[in-house]
A and B are shown apart, each in its own frame.
Chain A
Amino acid sequence: MELTKTVAKRLLQLVIVLLFVTMFTFLLIRLLPGDPTTTIIPFGTDAQRAALRNDLGLNKPIYEQYADYLTNLLQGDLGKQYNSGRPVIDLVSQSLPVSLQLMIYAQFIALLFAIPLGIFTAYRAGTRSDKAINTSAFALLALPNFVLALFLSYFVGAQLKWLPTGGYAPGWMDQFFDSSRSPDLIEHARYLLLPAITLAVGQIAVYMRLLRSDMIATLQENFITMAKAKGLSNQRILWRHALRPSSLTLLTVAGLNVGTLIGGAVVIEVIYGIPGMGLKIYQAVFSKEYVELQSYVVVIAVLFVLVNFFVDFLYTVLDPRIRRARAS
């Protein structure tokens, strides 16, 4: 009952936020100067432009356009591209899994390095190795990710020619969005490796620091002292007993980041030529595809809010205080 009340409250919040986000984006996009007719019929006469604007519904008052959009949205119609008539839902199904997979791999790589490093530096807090690793991580934070992207594509792609410098092949997730895209896992991994590493590097330092802080705190708790007294090895203590309670914030943040990064890795997708949502958003802005752009924002907002919601929920259920109480 407590739980359902919380869930219901959160769901309501979700809907309200979504409503506001769509309204806000709608207005924001309408503020963009120029109109889509310049892209579709650049050489059209004024009469042709006016007619096209009418067809596209751009002459209706704003609230009416918004209402139309919302009605369509609730029926699952994300609209069509002005230029080609392509349904936006198709474009979303093709590009969303690309970005999602990229984000997931980036988080995975980041955690792969951050967890051992976090544990190690917490275990050796204050020592020279701790300081050295922290300094390096700190330095890494100052490296803009587009610079890293350019460097990697130059060295690894162009000079060493180990990995491709752009392109994409479908992975395991694409087929669920569009059944015609069958996986080509090796190529998929090759194309996404550099972009994922680029995104991961920016996160490694963050995650490592987070984990280190939480681990240091956990390592001072009584149940750790008890475990040591029982004769358990340090490795066992670190990985089996200390890691779990300390990792909650880390996993929360990693989860939230999947949501926030979806629309945010645009520069990486542009530099590497990855056909994800970020690249599509970027193109839609420049080709003044209003409806397409709005729909992308809605999709991202929904994902962001859902991820937030899910992580919140998980957190409430897995409250560390309860678990610590149980553990000791």
Chain B
Amino acid sequence: MPELPDTGLDDEIGSGPTATEAFEREQHEFGGVAGDSGLLQVGAIEAGPASTRRRGAGLGFGAWAAIGWMGFIVLIAVLAKIGILTWGDANESFASCARKGPLADEGGAKGFLLGCDSNGRDMIPRLALGAWTSLLVAVGAVTFGFIIGGTLGLIAGFSGGKTDTILTGMFNVLLSVPVIIMALALVAFLQGASGEEGALSPEMILIIAIGVVAIPLIGRITRASSLTWAQREFVLASRAQGAKSRRIMIREVLPNVLPAMFSIALLAIGIAIVAEGALAILGVGVRPPTPSWGNMIALDRGNLFKSPHIVFEASLLIFFTVLSLNLLGDVVRARFDVREGGL
């Protein structure tokens, strides 16, 4: 009988991993699997456009294009927000341009390259300012999710035993509640809690809502990674030497987990941008008139048939941004991730 190849799975024949455990292993290796197509898709991120690993060769064309795009978008967003380069007024309406633009039924409007939305507001400054809002919410949410979820996941994977069971249980309970209910309930609750004066800005509310929803997802991934590393020899050696658990966790495991987490973070930002869009369509996005890519789509999806340019333009920006983030995430992964037991 030929030797069975090492597939990296548990070595106990007969009581192999459960589907969920294999699922999580795949998640770690592939960075996750589509959980909720509508809201938070910790997507098949191990989906580099070319082969799975490219060693040695410099960053390909795709990676540079992605970096270029992200740099461009971030620059535009910041400049628009601080007011240096706003491309016009994001809130000013022009009756002459309402609903007009490329591809629109009523034709284009002179002087408005990308057309206007249904209120006659110039698309260019709105998209620029929208970039800021969307990125702010996305990065904020991911940071929030990582700080809490990442820490919990790290502890869970490292500690094992009872702590792990409780934390994983918590994650599972949170994940069993449909994401949409969590997000809607959180937004509603936070809106109520912040009162009429709005102690919490709408962006902050979205950051917390999306962030909280992200916690169990990020927690599970971090846990898987932490688990892998915690079983390595040098960690066991450290333990044998009598080093304190917390010290080992922070000194030995965390630095190894971080690079993989960085890749996940980039992907998660893309997902959060999409999540903000979905929440906007459901009516709980960024409060108008502040534009965000999501609420621009939500506001004018009723005009899709007559003025498709509004939805198209914001969608294209989201698409390229998420694509770039996915590309960069994959490149980071390929650089830093050392897969054990190669094939």
Contact = CB atoms under 8 A, between A and B. Distances in A.
Interface residues of B, number: 78
Given A203-B37, A217-B343, A263 B44 contact: no
Residue from B34, B189, B282 having most chain A Cβ neighbours under 10 A:
B34
B315 A141 contact: no
A278 B179 CA distance: 11
B188 A32 contact: yes
A143 B35 CA distance: 16
Given A146-B277, A154-B305, A305 B343 contact: no
A81 interface: no
Given A142-B270, A285-B181, A300-B178, A33 B323 contact: no
Interface in B276-334: 277-278, 281-283, 297, 301, 304-305, 308, 311, 315, 318-320, 322-323, 326-327, 330
Interface in A92-127: 125-126
Interface string B39-53: 101011111111110
Contacts of A270: 281-282
A261 to B, nearest CB: 6
Interface stretch (A169-177, A236-244, A309-317): A309-317
B49 A131 contact: yes
A144 to B, nearest CB: 4
Interface in A301-328: 301, 304-305, 308, 311-312, 314-316, 319-322, 324-325, 328
Given A205-B44, A316-B18, A144 B177 contact: no
B30 A305 contact: no
Contacts of B241: none
Contacts of B178: 262-264, 266, 281, 297, 300
Interface in A74-94: none
Contacts of B37: 145, 199, 202-203, 261, 264-265, 268
A158 to B, nearest CB: 5
A146 B278 contact: yes
Nearest to A157: B305
Contacts of B46: 209, 213
Residue from B35, B44, B174, B330 having most chain A Cβ neighbours under 10 A:
B44
8 contacts: A17-B176, A147-B297, A202-B41, A213-B52, A252-B22, A315-B19, A322-B13, A325-B13
Given A222-B2, A270-B282, A311-B19, 20 more contacts: A20-B169, A138-B48, A145-B38, A146-B274, A147-B319, A202-B41, A213-B46, A252-B19, A253-B23, A256-B19, A256-B23, A260-B35, A260-B36, A264-B178, A281-B180, A285-B181, A311-B20, A315-B18, A319-B14, A319-B16
Interface of B: 1-2, 4-5, 7, 9, 13-20, 22-23, 26, 30, 33-39, 41, 43-52, 169, 172-182, 184-185, 188-189, 191-193, 270, 274, 277-278, 281-283, 297, 301, 304-305, 308, 311, 315, 318-320, 322-323, 326-327, 330, 343
Interface of A: 2, 16-17, 20-21, 24-25, 28-29, 31-34, 125-126, 130-131, 134-135, 137-139, 141-147, 150-151, 153-154, 158, 199, 202-203, 205-206, 209-210, 213, 216-217, 220-223, 249, 252-253, 256-257, 260-268, 270-271, 278, 281-282, 285-286, 293, 297, 300-301, 304-305, 308, 311-312, 314-316, 319-322, 324-325, 328
